[in-house]
Amino acid sequence: MEWIMNPWPWYVGGILVALVMIALIKLGKTFGFSSNFRTMCAALGAGRSAEFFRFDWKAQQWNLLFLVGSVLGGYVSVHFLSNGQAPALADSVLNKLHATGFASAGTSYSPIELFGDWSLKNILLWSVGGLLIGFGTRYAGGCTSGHAISGLSDLQWPSLIAVIGFFIGGLVMVHLLFPFIF
């Protein structure tokens, strides 16, 4: 049982993702977490008021199951398979996060300063961040997992452009906006 409690090599995850993507391509399906929002809205009846949600959402039930499994898998891994340890971070990353005011970095899975504090600032950060993510995924026609995993596996040019944009956006956030906000 010790092997499951320790971090696995990166290539194990890579092989598993590749096998899943080969199976999805063979089955003619595409993967992406943001598409689950559309599926959930359609299942709850949003198609009565918006054309965008009028489609056969039952054909996407497998993707909803994948979403639920991912959430449950994350919960199980954090609470039962981690020995209570946070992921290892490089000393340079820890030093920068501590200098920025994130004293919990390296001791918890999510920063307590953000997710353990229900201050107005944090609620605004969560709300604006959620709106930007929602807008970005809709504007880009999918999320990072959909474009970077599924779209690139299908050799889709728009997915390559979207992934480059995600990468540039991440660099801007980390190097320009993050120090400004915190």
pLDDT at 1 exceeding the cut of 70: no
Cα distance between residue 108 and residue 84, in whole Å? 8
Output DSSP code: residue 28: T
| pLDDT value of residue 68 | 92
> HEC profile for 34-88?
CHHHHHHHHHCCHHHCCHHHCCCHHHHHHHHHHHHHHHHHHHHHHHHCCCCCCCC
**Per-domain residue ranges for the chain?**
1-85, 118-182
Which pLDDT belongs to residue 15? 93
- Whether this prediction's pTM lies above 0.85 is answered by no
In 3D space, the residue among 140, 145, 182 whose CA is nearest the CA of residue 162 turns out to be 140
**Residue range 120-161, pLDDT digits in tens:** 988 998 999 888 888 888 788 888 888 888 888 888 999 999
pLDDT digits (tens, 9 = 90+) for 70-104: 899 988 887 888 776 777 889 999 998 898 888 98
